[in-house]
Structure 1
């Protein structure tokens, strides 16, 4: 991922999201040491304080934790926490919109479930 300085999303949030994606993709594992603010600053050519803000955000969310004198490490349930957060932040609003549209179109809950299962099968999912 390349940070986008022109984005309306602050750089520290982009750093936090990049680290979350590294955890989700398995590139950073539980209890593994992660990049320091200085390493992140060098990697992305940003101010170390900006990188630190992204790291601190993840620490506040218990996705990473500090070991005094050793740096930051991936928390034990980090992947699970990130998945839950993404489900709530991304899928929640989409589902609410889908339910609203289904109501406007007089689609019953059972019909909606069948439509979702069919779409999942067609996209290679298992429909569960």
Structure 2
């Protein structure tokens, strides 16, 4: 599950975010405890706790004292908005810049996107 590209705690946070986005974890649903998570993935509990704390700090999870951690009610909407923003900044804007550099009119780019959408619908 974990790779060497980023810290494990960050990968934990991203994995839980992906579970929320995919619908595996819903609003106000309890998530595994940090100790359960650490035991299941055979990692240090402090590492798991750091990933969970990152999610609490971001407002993705919230704590219920003595009960555990839960998915924030608006976590999915918040994560979708963040991912959309990153998509435009990381994918669309560089694509538009590259199209301009190599002389592709933006109308051609849009036409290609519509063509791909039509193929998908067929």
TM-score, structure 2 normalization: 0.89
Asked if the contact 1:33/1:74 (under 8 Å) is kept, the reply is yes
Is 1:66 paired with 2:63? yes
Question: How far off its partner does 1:120 sit?
Answer: 2.8
Q: Which residue of 1 aligns with 2:78?
A: 81
**2:25 aligned counterpart, secondary structure:** coil
Farther off after superposition, 90-99 or 63-72: 90-99
Asked if the contact 1:3/1:44 (under 8 Å) is kept, the reply is no
Q: 30, 33, 36: which one pairs with 2:33?
A: 36
Q: 86, 100, 104: which one pairs with 2:101?
A: 104
Aligned-partner Cα distance in 1 for 2:19–2:99:
36
Farther off after superposition, 39-48 or 112-121: 112-121
**Cα gap change, 1:89 to 1:47, in 2 (>3 Å):** same
Question: How far off its partner does 1:90 sit?
Answer: 4.0
Question: When the two structures are aligned, how many residues end up with a matched partner?
Answer: 122
- In structure 2, the gaps of 5 or more residues are none
Asked if the contact 1:16/1:55 (under 8 Å) is kept, the reply is yes
Divergent runs of 4+, >3 A: none
Farther off after superposition, 106-115 or 7-16: 106-115
Q: Which residue of 1 aligns with 2:2?
A: 3
Is 1:115 paired with 2:102? no
Residues 45-84 of structure 1 deviation map (CA, whole Å, 9 limit, x = unaligned): 1011100111111111111111111111001111111122
Aligned-partner Cα distance in 2 for 1:110–1:44:
48
Question: How far off its partner does 1:91 sit?
Answer: 4.2
Asked if the contact 1:33/1:73 (under 8 Å) is kept, the reply is yes
